[in-house]
Amino acid sequence: MAKPLKVDQVWMNRIAEQLDNMEFGSLHIVVHEGQIVQMERTERKRFGNTSSDASKQVSGRTSPRPLRKSGSE
Task: Give a yes or no: residue 23 inside a domain.
Answer: yes
In which domain, by residue range, is 30 found?
9-44
Task: Give a yes or no: residue 25 inside a domain.
Answer: yes
| pLDDT of 8 above 70 | yes
60 vs 37, higher pLDDT:
37
Mean pLDDT of 25-34: 93
Task: Give a yes or no: residue 54 inside a domain.
Answer: no
Collapsing DSSP to helix, strand or coil, 21 comes out as: coil
pTM > 0.75: yes or no: no
Mean pLDDT of 35-42: 94
**Contact assessment for residue 22 and residue 40, using Cβ atoms and an 8 Å cutoff:** no
- pLDDT of amino acid 42: 95
Task: Give a yes or no: residue 61 inside a domain.
Answer: no
| pLDDT of 71 above 70 | no
Task: Give a yes or no: residue 21 inside a domain.
Answer: yes
Task: Give a yes or no: residue 17 inside a domain.
Answer: yes
Confidence of residue 7 (pLDDT cuts 50, 70, 90): confident
Task: Give a yes or no: residue 27 inside a domain.
Answer: yes
